Each structure stands twice: as C-alpha cells, then as structure tokens.
Amino acid sequence: MKVLVINCGSSSLKYRLIETDTKTVICKGLCERIGIGGGHFKYEVAGSDKGMDKNVEFPDHNTAVDTLIKALTDPEVGVVSDVSEIAAVGHRIVHGGDRFTEATLITPEVMKIIEECSDLAPLHNPANIQGIKSCQKVMPGTAMVGAFDTAFHQTLPEEAYLYGIPYEYYEKYGIRKFGFHGMSHEYVSKETASLMGRDIKDTKIIVCHLGNGASITAVKGGKSIDTSMGYTPLDGIIMGTRCGSLDPEIVHALAEKTGKSLEDVMHILNFESGVYGLSGYMSSDMRDIRDAYAKGDKAAIRAYDTYIYVIVKYIGSYIAVLGGADAITFTAGIGENSSSLRRHVCERLEGLGVQLDEKANSEGKGGRMISTEASKIKVFAIPTDEEMSIALSTVEVLSNRG
Ligand code: ADP
C-alpha cells in the first residue's frame, strides 16, 4: 500500500511517499521556510527526472500540505490519480512521553496526549501536531498514524530510566530517561539481525546512530534496554553542537562565571558545544573536523579524539549492560559514511575482541558487515531509514486495526 510519511518541523515539512509492499520510495521532497517567507518546494519522483523545484510562499503548514497534495496528483508529474490511493499518513512525532510504546492510530484522545507531551519537546511536538492537523484538513478520509521517537525506548527497565534524584520528581513531574532516535535504532537493529541471519530475539546489538544528533542504544532481543539520550536529546555522547552528559554543577558554574542567564547557558550547551565548541567553533560538521584532523590541526584533533573516546566509553558500558554483544552497528550521517571514524572506534575495542575488516570498512557500500568473520563482536555499517521505519509501522497499525 502507499503510505505518505510526514516529518514536520516548525518551519519545514519533509515528506516521502512509500510503496510499502515493495519497500520502495515513490517520491520525496520538502517544503521549506513555512511561515517565515521565502518558501521553497522540492518534489522528486524516484527513478525519473520528473519533479518540481520552485519558490512557493507557505504562510502556514496547511498551504504546504496543499501544495504537496497538488504535486502528488498533478497530471504531469503526479504519482497518484487521486489522494484516496494513499492508504495512510505516518507522522513522525518526537515525544510520546511514557504514554506510547508503539506507533498509534491518531484519534482525538491520542491528539490530546500528544499535546500534553509538548511540555517535553516544546520545539518539536507543536510542529508535529500542526502537521497532523494540516493533513487531516486536506485528507479528511485518510487514516493518520503517529510514530514516536521515544516509543522504542519504552522497554527500558526502571533501573535504566531513573535518575539519581528524589523519586518524588519522577512521580510528580515524570523526570526520567526517555531516549530518542527510536525509529532508527529499531530499524537498524532489525537490519543487523537480518544481515547476521539471526532471529533478533536471540541477539544483543549496540546501535550507534551518529549524525548531528547522536545516540547509542543497547538492544537485547529486539528491545531497547538502555540508550544514551535522556530526558531530552541533550544527554549522552558529544554531538555536533550538543554537549552530551556532563556534571550538572557545570550549568551553575557557567552561569556564575560568565554572568549569563540559565537560558543562555542552556543555549551554549545545545548549540555552541559538542564538536563545534570543542574545536574552538571551527565546525559542527564531521567532514570539516576530519579534514582539519588529517592536516594535524590541534583543535580538530582535540574535538575528534574526545568524540571517539566518549563513543568507546558508551559502547564499553553497553557491552557490560548487555552481558556481551553480538554486534555493534554504525548508522546515520557519520556512522554510515565515515570509515575512518569507524576504524578509530573499533581500534580502541580490539581488547574486547573487535577485529575490523579494513577492506569491507573502507571500500564496501550499503548495509554490510565490516568486521572479520573471526571478530568476537561483529561490526556493521548500515544506512538508517527512519521514513521506511515509520511507513512499515503505519502498515502494522492499520493491519492490527483490521
Ligand atoms: P541529522 O539527521 O542529525 O541532522 P545526519 O544523520 O544527516 O544528521 O548526519 C550529519 C553528519 O554526518 C554531519 O556531521 C556530516 O558531516 C556527517 N557526514 C556526512 N557524510 C560524511 C562523510 N562522508 N564523512 C564523515 N562525515 C559525514
């Protein structure tokens, strides 16, 4: 069936129309600069040079969805003759709190709960809600499904999701680890098990999702049992501009020493830290850091080495938590593309029995094993596909509905 996947941000809407029976993308694109003027619309039909790339003003998300539907049904470049050919819309929703353990059909009650979760993701959930409402307006008869970044991590045991703060704050305010990138971790762990030719139920896999945002997850028997992001996506490993885990007293110290407000300090930790901050504001893009590193640039070496160190530390702790690991999988922009980063991480894991196959690592393409057969823990590089994951979950929700 045809599923339209929507990933709505506050000023953008990314979309993909997927034929789920064959797991193929029919078309994809995005609407940019919604509500801020200077809007732009991109639409590409897969496997052809048909498409659109034009400036369109999008005063709001409704106009963006309207433009998209017109393109999908356009007599010349369209891919469906009527919008009714689209069986469902799968929406990416960043925060489902602890209310959603899987993708869910959107009903008025579900919308209310997603709205309640906005507190936890004030930048993301309101935009996701807007995306749902706009689609409901333009496609009133079509089933809407929400797929949550947090849902896959709802299997975390209490010992993994609690913080060492008074329990009453968990009870009163729900302060706990949630974890993110769930769709990616779920999809990539399934792909890993399938490449190993094993039933995922019998596997222990560590997924390293390394993009601008990054998180590492310990997956046991197909279920997330710990993950590096926490109450928010600021926690865990060092990222492009985010600091990752740190001593909370640092927030206090930075405010006191710089004279900045709490809000400004949080801005530093979210947008000026990570690889960007560590490199002396050189770049948050790993390609720039890697190139400067190769030239012996001290700031790049400092940022890169710290980044690798933290990844190794998380992997090591998850091997302990899992009681051993069958596989470590690298995914997302950096994890999929940077063979040198994978090598540098794996070299530091040699003591745990990791043996990289350098040819497969640097010359291979697509989802593949990049360790030797003899490696005690197998290593994989697998492209993530969050949109496909959302589309497949949407089909599952529809088929469960009967
Ligand atoms: P997000 O979705 O979180 O914005 P991505 O998964 O797209 O992030 O990853 C973006 C990161 O991937 C950037 O830091 C970019 O430098 C890095 N990246 C992309 N291609 C390469 C490459 N060939 N080598 C190293 N890093 C790469």
pLDDT band of 120, cuts 50, 70, 90: confident
272 contacts: CB under 8 Å, gap ≥ 6:
241, 281
Query: Ligand 1 pocket test: which of 30, 92, 94, 212 has the largest number of ligand atoms within 8 Å of its C-beta?
Result: 212
Please give the pLDDT value at position 10.
Answer: 83
Counting beta carbons within 10 angstroms of the beta carbon of residue 227, is it exposed (0 to 12), middle (13 to 18) or buried (19 or more)?
buried
Task: Write down the CATH number for the domain with range 189-381.
Answer: 3.30.420.40
Ligand 1 atom 4, closest CA: 212
Q: Catalytic annotation on 98?
A: no
CA pseudo-torsion sign 384, 387, 390, 394: negative
Please give the pLDDT value at position 202.
Answer: 97
83 Cα to the center of ligand 1, angstroms: 34
Task: Write down the CATH number for the domain with range 2-148.
Answer: 3.30.420.40
pLDDT band of 401, cuts 50, 70, 90: confident
214 Cα to the center of ligand 1, angstroms: 10
Residue range 140-150, pLDDT digits in tens? 999 999 999 99
Residue range 310-366, pLDDT digits in tens? 999 999 999 999 999 999 999 999 999 999 999 999 999 999 999 999 999 999 999
Residue type, 164: G
Residue range 38-56, pLDDT digits in tens? 999 999 999 999 999 999 9
- Give me the chain's average pLDDT, please: 96
Domains 2-148 and 189-381 are alike in CATH topology = yes
Residue 402 has pLDDT above 80, yes or no: no
Q: Does residue 240 have its Cβ closer than 6 Å to ligand 1?
A: yes
Q: Does residue 213 have its Cβ closer than 6 Å to ligand 1?
A: yes
pLDDT band of 236, cuts 50, 70, 90: very high
The answer to whether 380 and 330 have CB atoms below 8 angstroms apart is yes
Percent of the chain with pLDDT over 90: 96
Q: Does residue 334 have its Cβ closer than 6 Å to ligand 1?
A: yes
Query: Ligand 1 pocket test: which of 149, 215, 337, 365 has the largest number of ligand atoms within 8 Å of its C-beta?
Result: 337
Name the active-site residue from 60, 149, 235, 305.
149
CA pseudo-torsion sign 72, 77, 81, 86: negative
Query: Ligand 1 pocket test: which of 287, 293, 385 has the largest number of ligand atoms within 8 Å of its C-beta?
Result: 287
288 Cα to the center of ligand 1, angstroms: 11
| DSSP H or E segment with residue 42 | strand 40-45
**Atom from ligand 1 closest to the CA of residue 290:** 25
24 Cα to the center of ligand 1, angstroms: 23
Q: Does residue 338 have its Cβ closer than 6 Å to ligand 1?
A: yes
In this structure, what are the phi and psi dihedrals at residue 240, rounded to the nearest 5 degrees? -55, -55
Q: Where are the domains of the chain?
A: 2-148, 189-381
